[in-house]
Amino acid sequence: MPADRAQRIIAAATFVNMLGSGVFMAAASLFFTQSVGLSLAQVGTGLGIATLTGLLAGVPVGRLADRLDPREVYLGTLAVQGAAMTALVFVHSFWLFVLVVSLTELAGSAAAASRAPLVRGYSGAEPTRFRSYLRSVANLGGAGGALAAGFAIQLGTRDAYLALVLGNAVSFLACAVIILRLPSLPPLPVPPQAGRWQALKDRPYLAVAVLDGLIGIQGHVLVFALPLWIVLHSDAPRWFVGVSVLVNTGMVVLLQVRASRGVDSPAAAGRAVRRSGLAFLAGMGLIAVTGGLPGWLAIVVITLGICVHTTGELWHAAGSLELRFRLAPAYAQGQYAGVYGLGLRLGGAAAPATVGLLCVSWGAPGWLALGGLFAVAGYAMPLVIRWAENGQRTGSGRCPEQARHRVLTRQAAPALS
C-alpha cells in the first residue's frame, strides 16, 4: 500500500470501482441477451452506438474538471454512472437499451477525464510507480469481480443478473463515498496564451493518442480473439480459456509496477512502447502456430505466447500512462485526458471487428499481420513523441511535471496532515 494517505484513498476507490465493473462486464452479454431479451446483433449494435456516443463527453467534462475542483466533478460523474446502471434494471426494449448504455458510456468517459487531474495531482514524487500501482489494483479488482459474477452466471436467473447490475451501481456510490475523503484540489492558473480547446488543437498530442489507441487494440487479443481461437482452431481443451485469462491477469497484477521502472520520461515511454510492439508480434506469432499442434503442445505454446504478449502489454501500459500525463500541460490534465480517451475509445470500437476478422477468420496469417501492425506502430511512436516534445520546447504553454508536483504539494499538505 502507498505510504501517502491520498494515494491510498485513490487506490481503494479504484479497487471498489473495478470490482463492480468486473462483476457487471463478466455477465453483461448474458444479461442483455438472456434477461433483457435482446439478440446478439442488437447488443453489438447498441454497444457500438454507445461507444461512439461516449466520445462526446471526455473533452468538455475534462475541461470542466480543470477549471473547477476535479474531485467534485468526478463525484458527479460517479453519481450519474450509478443512476445509469440502476436504470438498466428497467430496460426491456432495444432503443431504451441504447439510450441507457449510451448514458453509461458518456458518464464513463467523463469520469475518466475528470479522474485524471486527481491521479496527476496526488501522484507524489514517483508518479509512474503510482499510476502502475493503480493499474495493478484495477486488474485485481476486475478479476475479483469476474470471479464473483461466475456464481450468478451459474444460477442464470433474472434475479441473479439484476443483483450483478445493482451491485455495480452500488460500487459507483461506494467509490464516491471513498473519494469524499480526498481533499479538494484547486485548479492551476491558465497561461494567457493557452487556448480554450487547446487539447483538440495539439496535433502532436492527437497523433500520440491515435497511435496509442491503435496499439491499444492489443488488449482485445487475449480476451476476445484467443478464447475463440482455442475453441475453434486449436486442440487445446476448452477449460484452458479460463487459465489463459488467469495467466494474463496474474502477470499484470504482480508485474506492472516492476515493468514501469525507468519509464519516467517521454523518451523512455517511447522505448517501452517500441519494445511492446515487438513483444506483441512475437507472442501472437507463437499463438498463430498452434492451429495444428496436439492438445498438450498447444497448451504449452499458447501459454508461452500469452506470457510474451502480456510482457508487451506491461511495457505498453507503462509507456502509455507516462505519455498521457507527461505530454499534457499540468493546468489542462482533464481536457487532455479526454482527448487521449478519444484514441482509446476509437481503438476499442474498432477492436472486435479487427481482431475477429484477422485472428479468428483469417487464421495464422491474420495473427502475424496484426502483430506486425503493432510492431510498426511501436516503432513509429518515438518519432511522434519527438514531434510532441519539440512542440513543448517551442512554447506550447505547458508546465513541467516538477512544477505541478511542487504546487500541489503546497496546496494539499495542510489537508493531508
pLDDT digits (tens, 9 = 90+) for 41-51: 788 788 888 88
* Predicted local distance difference test score (pLDDT) of residue 276: 96
Q: How far apart are CA 164 and CA 153, in angstroms?
A: 9
Helix (H) or strand (E) holding 26: none
Q: Residue 391 has what pLDDT? A: 63
Band (pLDDT 50/70/90 cuts) for residue 280 is very high
Cα 277 from Cα 281, distance rounded (Å): 6
* Range name among 182-191, 212-221, 247-256, 373-382 with the lowest pLDDT average: 182-191
Q: What is the pLDDT of residue 173?
A: 94
- Averaged pLDDT for residues 237-244: 83
Residue 116 contacts residue 325 (beta carbons within 8 Å): yes
Report DSSP state, residue 190.
Answer: P
Output the CA torsion sign for 347, 91, 224, 241. positive
The whole-number average pLDDT for the span 6-19 is 93
pLDDT of residue 401: 43
In the chain, what percentage of residues exceed pLDDT 70?
A: 93
Q: At residue 102, what is the residue type? A: S
Q: Is 48 exposed, middle or buried (0-12, 13-18, 19+ CB in 10 A)?
A: middle
pLDDT at residue number 409 = 36
How much is the mean pLDDT over the chain?
Answer: 85
Please check whether the domain covering 1-188+399-417 is classified as CATH 1.20.1250.20.
yes
Least confident range of 67-71, 332-336, 378-382, 388-392: 388-392
pLDDT of 16 higher than 90: yes
Lowest mean pLDDT among 14-18, 298-302, 321-325: 321-325
Q: Give mean pLDDT, residues 203-209.
A: 90
Asked if the domains 1-188+399-417 and 193-398 are classified in one and the same CATH topology, the answer is: yes
Q: In this predicted structure, what is the pLDDT of residue 25?
A: 79
Name the more confident of 96 and 411: 96
Q: Which superfamily is assigned to 193-398 in CATH?
A: MFS general substrate transporter like domains (1.20.1250.20)
Task: Average the pLDDT over each of 187-201, 341-355, 374-388 and give the range with the smallest value.
Answer: 187-201
Domain borders along the chain are 1-188+399-417, 193-398
Whole-prediction pTM value? Answer: 0.80
**Residue 60 burial class via C-beta count within 10 angstroms: exposed 0-12, middle 13-18, buried 19 and up:** middle
Residue that the C-alpha cell 499463438 belongs to: 287
Confidence of residue 387 (pLDDT cuts 50, 70, 90): confident
Which grid cell is 24?
457487471
More confident residue, 153 or 168: 168
